[in-house]
Structure 1
Amino acid sequence: MQIPRQAMLLRIFIGEDDRDDGHPLYESIVLKAREMQLAGATVLRGGMGFGQSSRLHTTKILRLSEDLPLVVEIVDSEEKISAFLPVLEGIMPSGLVTLEKVQVLQYGSTGG
């Protein structure tokens, strides 16, 4: 699989407690991206954050929160990302989704 040098970064900000049909939303996003043969997806867990509600989510002991912030990042061609957006819209009850143009310098091994 190849990614064009000029690609798109889809960044999805959600909470750890967000669900899709009883499953963690981040798992559903990654599995659907894989099913649609996107180049890859990475889930990053944040130690602290807040969103639209301004409610603080943190790992600090005095304010335990199981709903920590998560970021799912997917990089692929503009066409593949555009095809994935309606699927994402259908499973995301809330959150923040951003898109930006990126330049892919390497994908996979360099051989050798």
Structure 2
Amino acid sequence: MQIPRQAVLLRIFIGEDDRGPDHPLYESIVLKAREMHLAGATVLRGALGFGHSSRLHTAKILRLSLDLPLVVEIVDSEEKVNAFLPVLEGIMPSGLVTLEKVQVLQYGTSRE
């Protein structure tokens, strides 16, 4: 699988407790991205954050939150990411979604 040098980064900001149709939302997103043959997806867990509610979510022991912030990142061609967006909208009840253009320098083990 190849990714074009000029690609798009899709970032999805959600909470760890957010649910998809059958799984935690982050898992539903990654599984759907894999099913649609996107180049890859990574879930990053945050130690501290807040969203539209302004409620802090933290991993600090005194204010332990089980709903830590998560970011799902997906990089692929603009066309493939755009095709994924309606699917994402269908499984994502809330959160923040951003897109930005990126330059892919390496994908896989060989450089071109």
TM-score tier, shorter chain, comes to: over 0.9
Letter in 1 for 2:77: S
| TM-score normalised by structure 2 residue count | 0.97
Query: Cα deviations across residues 5-64 of structure 1 (Å, max 9, x unaligned)?
Result: 000000000000000124100000000000000000000000000000000000001101
Which residue of structure 1 lines up, in the alignment, with residue 76 of structure 2?
A: 76
Q: Which runs of 5+ in 1 are unaligned?
A: none
SS at match of 1:23: coil
| 1:54 and 2:48 aligned | no
Give 4+ residue runs of structure 1 displaced > 3 Å after superposition: none
Matched, 1:38 2:30: no
What code does the residue aligned with 1:4 have? P
Contact kept, 8 Å, 2:21 with 2:28, in 1: the verdict is no
The separation in 2 between residues aligned to 1:97 and 1:87, in whole angstroms, is 13
Structure 2 counterparts to residues 1-112 of structure 1, below 5 A: 1-110=1-110
Inter-partner Cα distance in structure 1 for 2:39 and 2:21: 25
Cα distance, 1:110 vs structure 2: 1.7
Percent identity between the two aligned chains? 86
**Unpaired segments ≥5 residues, structure 2:** none
Give the AA of the match of 1:61: I
